[in-house]
């Protein structure tokens, strides 16, 4: 992948910022204490203040995963390099970045919607 600023990376970045946008939008209506941990019976067993750094961290886990995947893209590009130089093989690192960011973004959004 020659150009690190491709469409998959741009989409991944906006997707990783989505939990922050939802958090800032929901902040005024959120209860003062939000559940941050649930046990196996899906019962909240740990609460923190809604402005706690732990809430920011749960929102930022998708951004952290995006940054990690962005740093791994040169390695993934070497692994998926083919002789033909097909466009599909060259776009796989970006697709993996998008997929991983999507998973962690959904986790952050689910946390916020459950709060």
What lies within 8 Å, CB to CB, of 9 at 6+ separation is: 70, 94, 97
Token pair in block for residue 10: 């741009």
Question: Do the Cβ atoms of 49 and 33 come closer than 8 Å?
Answer: yes
**pLDDT of 65 above 60:** yes
pLDDT value at 47 more than 80 = yes
pLDDT recorded at residue 1: 43
Element (H, E) at 44: strand 44-49
pLDDT of the residue at 76 = 77
- Inform me whether the pLDDT recorded for 86 exceeds 80: no
């Amino acid at each position: 992948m020659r150009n690190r600023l491709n469409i998959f990376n741009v989409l991944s970045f906006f997707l990783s910022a989505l939990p922050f946008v939802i958090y800032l939008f929901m902040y005024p209506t959120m209860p003062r204490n939000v559940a941050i941990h649930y046990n196996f019976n899906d019962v909240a067993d740990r609460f923190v203040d809604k402005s706690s750094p732990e809430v920011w961290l749960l929102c930022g886990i998708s951004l952290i995963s995006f940054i990690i995947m962005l740093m791994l893209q040169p390695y993934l590009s070497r692994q998926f390099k083919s002789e033909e130089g097909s466009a599909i093989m060259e776009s796989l690192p970006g697709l993996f970045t998008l997929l991983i960011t999507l998973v962690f973004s959904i986790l952050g959004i689910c946390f916020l919607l459950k709060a």
